[in-house]
């Protein structure tokens, strides 16, 4: 088993979101945007990465966050350090009216003389999709230099953009890979549909993308109690990998996906696979809001 270390994409930018932001910010520069607005959960990795990218660009940033203010910890604390404006929206209203809330916030920035780019949840849109299409080019080189052929590529999936980019990019860049994603929130029908519609939308904007048949493969057996909620088995898996390999997973995404992967390995799901590449999508700062559960797991021997 191999691990693609996308947790090492940066310190404050750690994880998969900066691969999408690379293209989103490129788009912002091309079209002279000068402020970023995005949205997510209170401990969103995508929001934290966007806040730091905005600070690096010298642009203001507003984050529309689902739910009440948590304590000063993890990504939420970092958002504040990066100088982002935080707008907390109560969960029910957030899920009902996200689009119109984002549009209102954008209007506010326009009234102040800015041109804000509104980035959707997780940066998963037709532009962000390019991040993991490009990552597949890198993976093709990785596989060539390591002598890996026909790998199974495994990742967590939350807003679908990483999965969509890997699923399409592995075909576009001739990786001859199977891509399997572990859901952390919605079910497999949602993600399989999201991957296809994201790619179809991207093709309508970028005609250079080939007309390929995508067969997304999502496993939704390990979501547990829901998004952002982990159980002792996930905590123990995180503690075990930390002490066995010195690699840190997070309880929201990578820890759950890795737990699913190891359970499926034991169940024989990967009996045909010669090489498995787990894409470590980051999420380190998501450790801290789960300190109590993780401390319990780390005390077990």
Ligand X SMILES: *Cc1c(COP(=O)(O)O)cnc(C)c1O
Q: Which residues bind ligand X (CB under 6 A)?
A: 15-17, 45-46, 122, 124, 156-163, 250, 253-254, 281-283
Closest separation between CB of residue 46 and ligand X, Å? Answer: 5
Q: Which of 48, 5, 65, 28 is nearest to 249 (CA)?
A: 5
Closest separation between CB of residue 241 and ligand X, Å? Answer: 15
Using CA atoms, how far residue 198 sits from 3, 191, 193, 207, 285, in Å, is 26, 10, 8, 14, 28
Cα separation, 133 vs 136, in Å, equals 5
Quick check: is 44 catalytic?
A: yes
- Report the residue number, 260 or 282, with the smaller CB distance to ligand X: 282
Closest separation between CB of residue 52 and ligand X, Å? Answer: 14
Residue whose CB is nearest to ligand X in the complex, by number: 283
Q: Which of 125, 207, 202 is nearest to 160 (CA)?
A: 125
- Report the residue number, 60 or 282, with the smaller CB distance to ligand X: 282
Cα separation, 57 vs 78, in Å, equals 17
Closest separation between CB of residue 239 and ligand X, Å? Answer: 18
- Report the residue number, 109 or 277, with the smaller CB distance to ligand X: 277
Sheet of strand 178-183: strand arrangement: 2-5, 276-280, 152-157, 178-183, 217-219
Catalytic residues: 44
């Amino acid at each position: 088993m191999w691990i693609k270390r996308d947790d090492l994409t940066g310190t404050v930018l750690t994880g998969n979101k900066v691969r999408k932001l690379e293209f989103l910010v490129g788009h912002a520069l091309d079209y002279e945007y000068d402020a970023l607005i995005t949205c997510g959960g209170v401990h969103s990795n995508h929001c934290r990465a966007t806040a730091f990218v905005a600070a690096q660009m010298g642009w203001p940033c507003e984050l529309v966050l689902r739910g009440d203010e948590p304590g000063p910890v993890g990504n939420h604390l970092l958002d504040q350090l990066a100088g982002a404006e935080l707008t907390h929206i109560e969960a029910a209203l957030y899920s009902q009216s996200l689009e119109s809330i984002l549009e209102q916030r954008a209007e506010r920035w326009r009234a102040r003389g800015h041109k804000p780019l509104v980035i959707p949840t997780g940066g998963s849109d037709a532009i962000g999709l390019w991040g993991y299409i490009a990552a597949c080019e890198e993976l093709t080189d990785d596989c060539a230099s390591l002598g890996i052929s026909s790998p199974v590529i495994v990742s967590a999936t939350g807003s679908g953009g990483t999965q969509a980019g890997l699923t399409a990019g592995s075909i576009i860049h001739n990786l001859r890979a199977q891509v399997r994603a572990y859901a952390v929130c919605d079910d497999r029908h949602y993600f399989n549909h999201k991957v296809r519609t994201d790619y179809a939308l991207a093709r309508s904007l970028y005609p250079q993308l080939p007309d390929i048949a995508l067969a997304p493969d999502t496993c939704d057996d390990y979501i547990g109690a829901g998004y952002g909620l982990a159980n002792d088995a996930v905590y123990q898996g995180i503690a075990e990998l930390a002490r066995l390999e010195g690699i840190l997973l997070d309880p929201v995404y990578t820890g759950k996906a890795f737990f699913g992967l190891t359970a499926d390995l034991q169940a024989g799901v990967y009996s045909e696979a010669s090489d498995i590449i787990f894409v470590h999508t980051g999420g380190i700062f998501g450790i801290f809001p789960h300190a109590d559960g993780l401390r319990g797991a780390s005390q077990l021997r």
